[in-house]
Chains A and B, each alone.
Chain A
C-alpha cells in the first residue's frame, strides 16, 4: 500500500514551513540563545492562571456555547469598544476560537470557494498562504519592499487584483517585520479595497504591542467594518500562547457561518482558557501595560545594538520583532542564520521563510530577557567582526 498516495494532493503539495528546519538544527544544541521565538518570554500573569484554577475547582470542565461563553464575548466586545472604538454585538458578531490561528482558518474556509484568490502581503506570518490553500483558494502574494519599510502600498494591491480576487489578508503590526501602519496609511489601502469590493481579514493580534503612535484598528476606518473580519487573540499581548485562545469579530452573517464550521469541527474553545481570558480582560490591563513597557525598552535596545553592529534596522513600530538587513555581510539570509547558529549558538530566523522580499533580512525576536539579548548582541558582534 502506497500510503503517500492517500494524502490529498492539496496537502501533499503544501511546503513544510522553513522554520521547521531551523527548529531541528537549533534543538540539537545546548546553550543556544534564541531570538527565533514568536511568543512572549513572560509567563501568563498569575491572576489569569489562578482564575482558571478557580473555574476548574468550581467544576467548569464541560463544553461552552459554540461561539464561546457569552460573558467572555461581552468582555471582548467591551474591550474592542474601549480600546479601538469598535462596536460589535456579543450576541452574533463575536466568535471565540482556538487561537487566532483557528480564527484565520475559519474565516478563510467561510469565504473561499475553489479557485478564489486571496491576497497575502509578504513577508508575512507563515500560516496565511497555506491556510488559503487548505481552504481551496489560491494565495496571491505581494512582496512588500524595504524602501517602504515593508509597508504595503495601495498600488501593489491594485496590481494584484484579478476578477477572482475575493479578499486580502492584512496584518498590523506585522510579523516578521514589526512594521506598523498608521491610520492614514490604512485609509489609503481601504480606498482600493472598497473600490474593488474586497473582503478583509485583518489580523490584529499585535495591536496592543505598539510603541510610538496610536493604533488604528482597520474596521474602525469609514466603510470598512462591513467588509472586515477582525482577527485577534490572547497569545501575544496577554502572554497566553499555550492556552490557545483567540477570537474573530465581524458582520453577523459571516460570524454565523464561521460558527457553523466551528460547531462541527471544534465544538468550542477550551473552557478553562476561556475563564482565564475573562480575567485577562477584566483585570489584566496593568500586567499588559507592564509587558508593553518592557517590550518597548527591549525594542530600543536591540534596534540600537543591531545598527551599531552594521546590521541596518529601522525602528519597528510594533510586535516584538526586529527585521535587520544582513546585506552588508554578502551572505544570504539562510547562510547568515545557519553560520550564526553554528558559530555563536544564536538562533534567528532567515527572512526569506516569510516571503521572497525577506531575503537579505533576518527576524530577531526581542521577547527574551535583557540578559539574554545582551549576550546575543555580544555574540553577534563577534560574528560580525569576522566578516566585515
Chain B
C-alpha cells in the first residue's frame, strides 16, 4: 500500500461522501487518477463498502437496543474458532464478532428492537449452539462515541474570532 493510497483512504474513511473532484484537488492529483485509484482499492477489497453513521435515536420513536455478549466457546479441531464464529456472524441480528484475548473468546454485538427480543435470540439461538459454553450479556445504555465520532458533540461551532492577524 503506497502513501497515495493511504492518504486517499484516510480522507474517505472520515467522509465517504467526499466527491472525487474534491479528493483530487485536496491531493493535488487529477480526477481520473483518483477514480482509477478508488476502483483499484475496491477491487483489492481495501475499501469494503460505504456506510453512513446514523443516530437512529434521533429518528425512531423506539430506540434500538444493542447488547455486547461475551461468549465462551470450545474451538473445533482444525478450524479453531473460525467455524463457530461463522455460525454466529451469519445471523443478521449479529452486527459484529471479534475473537478476543482474555477471559472469554468471542465478543458479539447484537442489535434488536427490545431487550426481550435480544434475550430471546441469545437464549434460543446463541447459547444453544453446540460449541458455546457460556454467555454474559451487557446491554448498552448510552452511546457517547462511536467509531471515533462523538455523538452528542455540541462543540462543532468555531470559537475563533472572525478576523485575526
Do A and B share a complex?
yes
CB distance from A294 to the nearest CB of B (A): 9
User: For B11, what are the chain A residues with a Cβ–Cβ distance below 8 Å?
Assistant: 297
Interface 9-residue window, one of A16-24, A86-94, A194-202: A16-24
User: For A368, what are the chain B residues with a Cβ–Cβ distance below 8 Å?
Assistant: 158
Interface 9-residue window, one of B23-31, B90-98, B114-122: B23-31
Query: In the complex, which residues 162-182 of chain A have their Cβ closer than 8 Å to any Cβ of chain B?
Result: 175
Question: Could you tell me if B22 and A22 are in contact, using CB atoms closer than 8 angstroms?
Answer: no
- CB of B160 within 8 A of chain A? yes
User: For A355, what are the chain B residues with a Cβ–Cβ distance below 8 Å?
Assistant: none
**Size category, A interface:** 20 to 34
Interface of chain B, main secondary structure: loop
Question: Could you tell me if B163 and A19 are in contact, using CB atoms closer than 8 angstroms?
Answer: yes
Question: Could you tell me if A370 and B7 are in contact, using CB atoms closer than 8 angstroms?
Answer: no
Question: Could you tell me if B165 and A127 are in contact, using CB atoms closer than 8 angstroms?
Answer: yes
Expressed in whole angstroms, the Cα–Cα distance for A175 and B164 within the complex equals 12
Expressed in whole angstroms, the Cα–Cα distance for A34 and B165 within the complex equals 13
Question: Could you tell me if A22 and B165 are in contact, using CB atoms closer than 8 angstroms?
Answer: no
- CB of A279 within 8 A of chain B? no
Question: Closest chain A residue to B7 by CB distance?
Answer: A293
Question: Could you tell me if A300 and B26 are in contact, using CB atoms closer than 8 angstroms?
Answer: yes
How many A-B pairs with Cβ below 8 Å? 61
Question: Could you tell me if B163 and A36 are in contact, using CB atoms closer than 8 angstroms?
Answer: yes
Question: Could you tell me if A37 and B26 are in contact, using CB atoms closer than 8 angstroms?
Answer: no
Tell whether A23 pairs with B162 under 8 Å between CB atoms, given A297-B26, A304-B25: yes
CB distance from B31 to the nearest CB of A (A): 11
- CB of A298 within 8 A of chain B? yes
- CB of B161 within 8 A of chain A? yes
Question: Could you tell me if B28 and A347 are in contact, using CB atoms closer than 8 angstroms?
Answer: no
In the complex, which of the residues B22, B26, B163, B165 contacts A347, with contact meaning CB atoms closer than 8 Å?
A: B163
User: For A32, what are the chain B residues with a Cβ–Cβ distance below 8 Å?
Assistant: 162
- CB of A383 within 8 A of chain B? no
CB distance from A293 to the nearest CB of B (A): 7
User: For B163, what are the chain A residues with a Cβ–Cβ distance below 8 Å?
Assistant: 19, 22-23, 26-27, 34, 36-37, 347, 349
Tell whether A19 pairs with B165 under 8 Å between CB atoms, given A300-B25, A300-B26, A305-B25: yes
User: For A126, what are the chain B residues with a Cβ–Cβ distance below 8 Å?
Assistant: 165
In the A-B complex, the 6 residue pairs with the closest CB atoms: A297-B26, A36-B163, A23-B163, A300-B28, A34-B162, A26-B162
Other A-B pairs, 18, CB within 8 Å; known A175-B165, A297-B7: A17-B165, A19-B163, A22-B163, A26-B162, A27-B163, A34-B158, A34-B162, A34-B163, A36-B162, A37-B164, A39-B164, A297-B11, A304-B28, A349-B163, A368-B158, A370-B22, A370-B26, A374-B22
Measured CB to CB, the residues of B under 8 A from A are: 7, 11, 22, 25-28, 155, 158, 160-165
Residue pairs across A and B with Cβ atoms less than 8 A apart, 5 shown, are A19-B163, A22-B163, A26-B163, A37-B162, A297-B26
